[in-house]
Amino acid sequence: MTFGHDATGLRSETVRRANLSAIVTELHLHGGLTRSELVARTGLTRGAIRGLIRELTAAELVAEQPSRQRGVPGRPSPVVLPRGDRAVVLALEIAVDSLAAAIVGLGGEVQRLVRTDRPRGHLEPDAIVDDLRRLARPLLAQVGADDLLIGAGMAVVGVVRSDDGLVHTAPNLGWTDVPLAGMVARALGVRAPVVVANEADLGGLAEHRRGAARGFDDVLYISGEVGVGGGIIAGGRPLAGASGYAGEVGHLPVNPAGTRCRCGSTGCWETEVGERAILARARANLRGGGRAMDRVLEDAAAGSPAAVDALRITGEWLGIGLAGLVNVLNPRLVVLGGLIGRIHPFVAGEVERAIATRTLSPARRDLRVVPAALGIDAPLLGAAEHAFEPLLADPATWVSPQDRALQLRSA
Amino acid sequence: MTFGHDATGLRSETVRRANLSAIVTELHLHGGLTRSELVARTGLTRGAIRGLIRELTAAELVAEQPSRQRGVPGRPSPVVLPRGDRAVVLALEIAVDSLAAAIVGLGGEVQRLVRTDRPRGHLEPDAIVDDLRRLARPLLAQVGADDLLIGAGMAVVGVVRSDDGLVHTAPNLGWTDVPLAGMVARALGVRAPVVVANEADLGGLAEHRRGAARGFDDVLYISGEVGVGGGIIAGGRPLAGASGYAGEVGHLPVNPAGTRCRCGSTGCWETEVGERAILARARANLRGGGRAMDRVLEDAAAGSPAAVDALRITGEWLGIGLAGLVNVLNPRLVVLGGLIGRIHPFVAGEVERAIATRTLSPARRDLRVVPAALGIDAPLLGAAEHAFEPLLADPATWVSPQDRALQLRSA
DNA sequence: CGGGTTTGTGTTCCTTTTGACCAAATGCTG
DNA sequence: CAGCATTTGGTCAAAAGGAACACAAACCCG
């Protein structure tokens, strides 16, 4: 069962929009392709590609360079490059114990990236937004007035409504109903749209576009920080749910006889595989945060029985939750990020075993479980991808009518 | 996060295909619309609609009737009706204790439907396919040689690979790796394509298109028979997963301390809310099957403490599993079908309570849990919808070039 | 019966892609 | 180094399809 259509009428202008979108998306994802490669990938004719590239060049979204590729017969095809120097986004992140900002260009190149430590614990929204402003200001100053700031994307450790970027709850920050998108837009003074989404959702998006899940259409990304979050790619696109809250795997009930969760429920997955659960099993300092966790991992690597045992039990619970999710979502790839990615080497066996005994055999046959490739910056990069989305979906908005008129006159 | 594009070039011909698809899909889902309603729904101009309708009329996929609607000023707009008498599909179903077949016309009208009891227990694929052939033969005989048999769709209680209709496992039938689509195609001797999918997936599709979930884009359908299955609609389209195995919610681990499941795992959701679990709690005859279950429901309705208690406990487990799925998928609507739908009146309170304590508040705010509307025929109707899919996606295949040429000559 | 309103019909125009032909740029071969 | 094969870009006419406009038809209402 793979289908579904949008029952909306198309106009011939729509075709151009869709084709521009196809080209810009290909270039953004692959970083640079020859015209003839674009012909092959999009299925369009050379003539059509030529016209579209000309428009994108006029809009300064792409640039052409003489071919690099040598050694093949035939006239060389010029390379079309996304202009990451002209079309950029601002990416922001509020993580558990850091804040980050980056300027990312079309094509995915990270121009600048800054990250600062943040004390754990609750902090007023205004204070954090102000910190972000200070972090982002020098980066924004670097963006020229002529450059195209497509938008700003933001990753937050919290439950975010997709419509308007309202942070509904963020237990790690002590936030409830914070209209973050609007606050950040005002603080930065940028006119470009600000989009906010959950950290794990964006981490999954980044791993899908540029990390371990590249090329896979059905992916489950699990991100462990203090809590546990998930990002789902289904059929090549992020699974948002009705209001953008999908992927909250941390509160999957796996152990009704278990311990109380901070969400009010009992036996949530997070209570078994979250940071606190691991520290408790390893009899480490529960308030030690990241440092204590580093210690546990070092001990486990050194063979300490307490640490190894703590991770082994955690791995079993990790596998139980994953098995359920695999049965429900049938992904081709599971990507483990954050803390869960770090413990992966120690728990791979337990996870494999749990999946082997608890999932339907066909669903597990082609399944692979791998650690994340992008590390700590995954959510930040995902925020950039999120911010680029309007441009990829409809570049025509940025291809000004003046450009087209000018170009037609000169032709 | 709501986006995603298909990075494929569009040709000008694609526009016509897409617009034909939009019209046929609208008509199939709504059963009959005036031209002006089609203009409003598709966003196309009157002229464009006229040309497309003319083509579809020539292909005998639709027909126009003088307007029925009276009492409004202005020229009356003719009603365009899907020709359910000419374009039809064959729907088949292998349920736990019945077989069914139906002829369904474009627009969703059920022309004929037959269902026969089937003894529970294992039965050879060949035997069942033969029974289906006998069931379907008189129905197919009714389809005229000039009529368009778009395809055949089939619902099976089992895990089905979407690519080729291979039934990977069907515990209720004792099947493993049965190439059902091909077997049925040969047995029926039809040239139209045969598509096979899981019963719960198709039940969910049917409820989405024509039942309780009409108009909702994010839906979780839960179907209880002997086991428990699920069908997921995400963003308006069925969630298939990598190979079509998504939605196997029956084996979600909810109670690691629970009883052994026939899948080999322990504490699967199915072991707590499946038919067997209910019968066991009500101390009813475990081998009594459907009859015994009817008895339990009657007793509960009459107020028997044992039955009421059995259902109450079942309701708690039902709520626990649902809460997890709601957190992961963030649906707007949960539809309970089959056995789960029948016990819904008795367990609504427990389910609401479990969801209230175990899901994130924003995800539950706009959530509704309702019983299914289509009853026992939901999977069969879903199979019909599945079979219609190629026609809805690209009606141009059925609009022959001759028709177009002929019509242009006459114009 | 005439005005107001809505919608079908036909014509012309616009947009966008296609396809065919030629020119250009490269590798390969003798 | 000349010539050929190959691949690709450039140009222009043609085709396809929808949009826009003007007009006619069919209905309601007073």
Phi, psi of B353 (to 5 degrees): -65, -45
User: Which residues 221-280 on B are within 7 A of strand D at the CB atom?
Assistant: none
* Over residues A54-82, mean pLDDT: 87
- Chain D positions with any atom < 7 A from a protein CB: 5-13, 15-21, 24-29
- Which CA-bearing residue is nearest the C1' of D21? B47
State the Cα–Cα distance between residues A309 and A282, nearest whole angstrom.
8
Residue B35 CB in 7 A reach of strand C: yes
Q: How far is the CA of B213 from the C1' of D27 (A)?
A: 37
Q: If 0-12 CB within 10 Å is exposed, 13-18 middle and 19+ buried, where does residue B67 land?
A: middle
Put simply, the answer to whether A22 touches B5 (Cβ < 8 Å) is yes
Shortest distance between the Cα of A40 and any Cα of chain B, in A, equals: 10
State the Cα–Cα distance between residues B321 and A252, nearest whole angstrom.
8
What confidence tier does A1 reach under pLDDT thresholds 50, 70, 90? low
Put simply, the answer to whether A1 touches B238 (Cβ < 8 Å) is yes
* Over residues A106-110, mean pLDDT: 96
Looking at per-residue confidence, does A15 or B301 come out higher?
B301
- Residues of A within 8 A of B327 (CB-CB) are 245, 248-252
Shortest distance between the Cα of A79 and any Cα of chain B, in A, equals: 19
Put simply, the answer to whether B1 touches A255 (Cβ < 8 Å) is no
- Give yes or no for a contact between B239 and A329, defined as CB atoms under 8 angstroms apart: yes
- Which residue in A1, A26, A358 has the most chain B C-beta atoms within 10 A of its own C-beta, making it the best mutation to test that interface? A1
Put simply, the answer to whether A230 touches B328 (Cβ < 8 Å) is yes
| Nearest partner of B377 among B175, B160, B99, B65, judged by Cα | B99
Per DSSP, B395 falls in state G
Q: Which pLDDT value is given to residue B76?
A: 86
State the Cα–Cα distance between residues A383 and A102, nearest whole angstrom.
10
The pTM (predicted TM-score) of the whole model is 0.93
- Which residue in B202, B328, B329, B364 has the most chain A C-beta atoms within 10 A of its own C-beta, making it the best mutation to test that interface? B328
- Residues of B within 8 A of A245 (CB-CB) are 327, 330, 360, 362-363
- Chain C positions with any atom < 7 A from a protein CB: 3-11, 14-20, 23-28
Q: Which pLDDT value is given to residue A225?
A: 84
Q: How far is the CA of B398 from the C1' of C22 (A)?
A: 40
Put simply, the answer to whether B240 touches A2 (Cβ < 8 Å) is yes
Q: How far is the CA of B76 from the C1' of D23 (A)?
A: 17
What six digits make up the tokens of A168? 């509904």
* Chain B residue with minimum CA distance to A202: B1
What are the residues whose beta carbons fall under 8 Å from the beta carbon of A6, sequence distance 6 or more? Answer: none
* Over residues B373-378, mean pLDDT: 96
Q: Which pLDDT value is given to residue A383?
A: 98
Q: Which pLDDT value is given to residue A405?
A: 52
**CA A41 → CA A2, A22, A65, A105, A294, distances in Å?**
22, 9, 19, 22, 45
Which of A241, A252, A393 is opposite residue B5, by nearest beta carbon?
A393
Q: Which pLDDT value is given to residue A9?
A: 63
Residue A72 CB in 7 A reach of strand D: yes
Residue A48 CB in 7 A reach of strand C: yes
Looking at per-residue confidence, does A132 or A406 come out higher?
A132
Residue A67 CB in 7 A reach of strand C: yes
% of chain B with per-residue pLDDT over 70: 93
Q: How far is the CA of A406 from the C1' of C15 (A)?
A: 17
Put simply, the answer to whether B362 touches A245 (Cβ < 8 Å) is yes
| Smallest CA–C1' separation from A72, nucleotide | C27
* Chain A residue with minimum CA distance to B253: A324
- As a whole number of Å, the end-to-end CA separation of chain B is 48
State the Cα–Cα distance between residues B122 and B234, nearest whole angstrom.
34
* Over residues A365-383, mean pLDDT: 96
Q: How far is the CA of B339 from the C1' of C6 (A)?
A: 50
Looking at per-residue confidence, does B158 or A123 come out higher?
B158
* Chain B residue with minimum CA distance to A19: B9
What six digits make up the tokens of A296? 């546990």
Looking at per-residue confidence, does A16 or A89 come out higher?
A89
Q: Is the pLDDT of residue A100 over 50?
A: yes
State the Cα–Cα distance between residues A94 and A379, nearest whole angstrom.
9
Q: Is the pLDDT of residue B107 over 60?
A: yes
Q: How far is the CA of A405 from the C1' of C14 (A)?
A: 14
Q: Which residues of B293-318 are buried (b: 16+ CB within 10 A; e: fewer)?
A: bebbbebbeeeeeebbebbebbbbbb
Q: Which pLDDT value is given to residue A7?
A: 46
Shortest distance between the Cα of B302 and any Cα of chain A, in A, equals: 31
* Chain A residue with minimum CA distance to B329: A246
Shortest distance between the Cα of B195 and any Cα of chain A, in A, equals: 9
State the Cα–Cα distance between residues A261 and A267, nearest whole angstrom.
7
Mean pLDDT over all residues of chain A? 91
Residue B16 CB in 7 A reach of strand C: no
Looking at per-residue confidence, does B182 or A225 come out higher?
B182
- Give yes or no for a contact between B365 and A168, defined as CB atoms under 8 angstroms apart: no
Put simply, the answer to whether B331 touches A242 (Cβ < 8 Å) is yes
Put simply, the answer to whether A330 touches B240 (Cβ < 8 Å) is yes
Q: Is the pLDDT of residue A123 over 90?
A: no
**pLDDT single digits (tens) B325-375:** 999 999 999 999 999 999 999 999 999 999 999 998 788 889 999 999 999
Q: How far is the CA of A115 from the C1' of C24 (A)?
A: 51
Looking at per-residue confidence, does A52 or B69 come out higher?
A52
Q: Which pLDDT value is given to residue A2?
A: 41
| Smallest CA–C1' separation from A36, nucleotide | D8
Residue B401 CB in 7 A reach of strand D: no
Put simply, the answer to whether A248 touches B330 (Cβ < 8 Å) is yes
- Give yes or no for a contact between B49 and B64, defined as CB atoms under 8 angstroms apart: no
| Smallest CA–C1' separation from A73, nucleotide | C27
Put simply, the answer to whether A358 touches B331 (Cβ < 8 Å) is no
**CA A210 → CA A121, A367, A379, A381, distances in Å?**
31, 20, 12, 9
How big is the A-B interface in CB pairs under 8 Å?
A: 273
* Over residues A100-120, mean pLDDT: 96
Which of B11, B242, B253 is opposite residue A366, by nearest beta carbon?
B242
Amino acid sitting at position A124: E
State the Cα–Cα distance between residues B230 and B352, nearest whole angstrom.
19
Q: How far is the CA of B77 from the C1' of D25 (A)?
A: 11
Put simply, the answer to whether B8 touches A247 (Cβ < 8 Å) is no
What are the residues whose beta carbons fall under 8 Å from the beta carbon of B372, sequence distance 6 or more? Answer: B203, B207, B211, B212, B221, B335, B336, B337, B338, B341, B378
| Nearest partner of B25 among B381, B401, B379, B394, judged by Cα | B394
Looking at per-residue confidence, does B5 or A104 come out higher?
A104
Q: Is the pLDDT of residue A409 over 70?
A: no
Q: Which pLDDT value is given to residue B401?
A: 59
Token pair 């999977």 in the structure block, residue = B379
Indicate the range of A9-23, A315-329, A358-372, B256-270 predicted with least confidence: A9-23
Indicate the range of A173-177, A402-406, B126-130 predicted with least confidence: A402-406
Q: How far is the CA of A47 from the C1' of D13 (A)?
A: 13
* Chain B residue with minimum CA distance to A316: B256
CB atoms < 10 A from the CB of A201, how many? Answer: 33
Which of B232, B235, B360 is opposite residue A240, by nearest beta carbon?
B235
* Over residues A4-14, mean pLDDT: 63
Indicate the range of A118-122, A353-357, A403-407, B53-57 predicted with least confidence: A403-407
Put simply, the answer to whether B243 touches A330 (Cβ < 8 Å) is yes
Q: How far is the CA of A97 from the C1' of D28 (A)?
A: 70
CB atoms < 10 A from the CB of B66, how many? Answer: 8
Q: Which pLDDT value is given to residue B281?
A: 94
Q: Is the pLDDT of residue B406 over 80?
A: no
The DSSP line for B163-225 is TTTEEEEETTTTEEEE-HHHHHHHHHT--S-EEEEEHHHHHHHHHHHHSTTTT-SSEEEEEES
